[in-house]
C-alpha cells in the first residue's frame, strides 16, 4: 500500500528517538547502578550489588521512601476528594457554565510549576499572607511555624498542583457515561443518591483509578516542592537522588534508587491498568 521509503521515513524517527533518549539512557543508568565510586571520586566499572545492599542497610533511604509514599498517598486522597466532586458537578450540573469552568480548572496547568510552588511559600511563611492575616484577626499571637517547611506544606502544594491531573480523567469518564443510564436508574425508582452510588460511581472507577495513579506517581517523584517548602522533615526520595547525582557525587547509588523507584512506578501503572480494564465495560 505505502512505499518502503515512506514507511521507513515515518518509522525511523520515533524509533531512533525512543532508542537514544529512553532505552539507551535507561540502559546506561541501569549499568551505573551496578558500578561503584572509588575514594578518588572516579567511577569503578566493576559489577557489584553493593548499591542495592546499601539501600536496604541504611535506614534513611527506606524511611525517606516510605515518607515519600505517605506524602504521595495523602496528595492522591486529597486530589481525589477535591477533583471528584468538581468533575461530578461540571459533568452533571454545570449546564452551560461547563466549558468556562473547565477552562478555569485547566488554566493553572499553564502556569509554571515553580511559580505555583513559590506562591505557596509566600502564603505559608512566618511573614506570609496566611500568618499575617491570622495575627491581624487576633486568632494567633505568633506565626504558626508548622505551615512552612513541613510535610504539611508539601502535601498542600502538591495537592494544589496535581488536583487538575486527578480531575481530568475523572471528568472524562463521567462525560462518557450515557445519560440514558441515569434516566433509566431514576425511571426504575432510584433516588439521585442511589443513582450516584449504584450507577455513576461504579462507571467512573476507571477515571478515578487513572486520576489516583497520576496524583500518586507524579507526587512520589516530585523534588521541587519538598526542596522549596519541605524543610528537613519534608525531604522526599527524589531529593536524595538529586543530591547523589549532584553534590554527593554518587551516581551509582543514585541510579540504584532511581531503578527501585522506576520498578515501583511501573508496577503501579501496570496494576492500575489491570484494574481499569476490569472496571471498564465497553
Q: Does 186 bind other proteins (CB under 8 A)?
A: yes
Q: Does 191 bind other proteins (CB under 8 A)?
A: yes
Of 201 and 245, the one with the shorter C-beta distance to other proteins is 201
Q: Does 185 bind other proteins (CB under 8 A)?
A: yes
Cβ 27 to other proteins shortest distance, Å: 42
Report the distance separating Cα 75 and Cα 157, nearest Å.
Answer: 9
Of 199 and 235, the one with the shorter C-beta distance to other proteins is 199
Among 202, 246, 263, 267, the residue binding other proteins under the rule CB under 8 A is 202
- For residues 130 to 169, the per-residue mask of contacts with other proteins, x marking binding by CB under 8 A and - elsewhere, is ----------------------------------------
- For residues 164 to 183, the per-residue mask of contacts with other proteins, x marking binding by CB under 8 A and - elsewhere, is --------------x-xx-x
Grid coordinates representing 61 are 533511604
Q: Does 190 bind other proteins (CB under 8 A)?
A: yes
Looking at 148-236, list the stretches that DSSP marks H as alpha helix, in order from N- to C-terminal side: 151-175, 179-187, 192-195, 201-220, 224-225
Q: Does 196 bind other proteins (CB under 8 A)?
A: no
Give the number of other Cβ atoms within 10 Å of residue 91's Cβ: 21
Task: Please name the residue that has the C-alpha cell 509514599.
Answer: 69
Of 56 and 181, the one with the shorter C-beta distance to other proteins is 181
Report the distance separating Cα 88 and Cα 85, nearest Å.
Answer: 5
Q: Does 93 bind other proteins (CB under 8 A)?
A: no
Of 2 and 281, the one with the shorter C-beta distance to other proteins is 281
Q: Does 188 bind other proteins (CB under 8 A)?
A: yes
Hey, which residues between 203 and 262 contact other proteins (CB under 8 A)? Answer: 203
Q: Are 34 and 252 in contact (CB under 8 A)?
A: yes
Of 144 and 205, the one with the shorter C-beta distance to other proteins is 205
Give the end-to-end CA distance of the chain in Å, rounded to a whole number: 32
Report the distance separating Cα 125 and Cα 145, nearest Å.
Answer: 8
Report the distance separating Cα 257 and Cα 245, nearest Å.
Answer: 11
Of 51 and 173, the one with the shorter C-beta distance to other proteins is 173
- Distance of alpha carbon 215 from the chain centroid: 4
Considering only 22-30, 46-54, 192-200, 269-277, which stretch makes contact with other proteins by CB under 8 A?
Answer: 192-200
- Residues forming contacts to other proteins in the complex (CB under 8 A) are 178, 180-181, 183-191, 194, 198-199, 202-203, 279, 281-282
Amino acid at each position: 500500500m505505502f512505499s518502503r521509503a515512506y514507511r521507513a521515513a515515518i518509522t525511523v524517527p520515533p524509533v531512533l528517538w525512543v532508542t537514544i533518549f529512553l532505552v539507551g539512557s535507561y540502559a546506561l543508568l541501569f549499568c551505573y547502578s551496578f558500578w561503584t565510586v572509588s575514594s578518588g571520586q572516579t567511577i569503578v566499572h566493576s559489577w557489584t550489588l553493593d548499591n542495592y545492599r546499601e539501600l536496604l542497610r541504611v535506614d534513611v533511604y527506606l524511611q525517606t521512601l516510605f515518607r515519600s509514599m505517605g506524602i504521595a498517598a495523602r496528595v492522591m486522597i486529597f486530589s481525589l476528594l477535591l477533583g471528584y466532586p468538581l468533575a461530578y458537578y461540571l459533568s452533571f450540573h454545570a449546564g452551560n457554565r461547563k466549558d468556562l469552568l473547565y477552562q478555569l480548572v485547566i488554566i493553572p496547568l499553564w502556569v509554571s510549576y515553580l511559580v505555583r510552588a513559590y506562591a505557596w511559600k509566600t502564603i505559608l511563611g512566618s511573614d506570609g499572607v496566611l500568618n499575617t492575616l491570622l495575627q491581624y484577626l487576633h486568632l494567633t499571637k505568633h506565626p504558626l511555624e508548622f505551615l512552612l517547611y513541613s510535610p504539611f506544606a508539601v502535601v498542600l502544594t502538591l495537592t494544589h498542583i496535581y488536583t487538575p491531573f486527578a480531575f481530568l480523567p475523572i471528568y472524562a469518564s463521567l462525560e462518557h457515561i450515557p445519560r440514558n443510564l441515569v434516566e433509566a436508574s431514576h425511571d426504575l425508582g432510584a433516588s439521585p443518591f442511589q443513582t450516584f452510588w449504584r450507577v455513576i460511581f461504579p462507571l467512573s472507577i476507571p477515571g478515578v483509578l487513572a486520576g489516583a495513579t497520576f496524583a500518586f506517581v507524579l507526587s512520589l517523584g516530585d523534588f521541587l516542592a519538598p526542596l522549596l517548602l519541605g524543610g528537613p522533615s519534608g525531604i522526599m526520595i527524589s531529593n536524595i537522588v538529586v543530591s547523589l547525582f549532584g553534590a554527593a557525587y554518587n551516581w551509582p547509588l543514585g541510579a540504584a534508587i532511581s531503578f527501585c523507584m522506576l520498578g515501583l512506578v511501573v508496577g503501579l501503572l501496570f496494576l492500575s491498568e489491570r484494574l481499569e480494564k476490569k472496571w471498564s465495560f465497553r
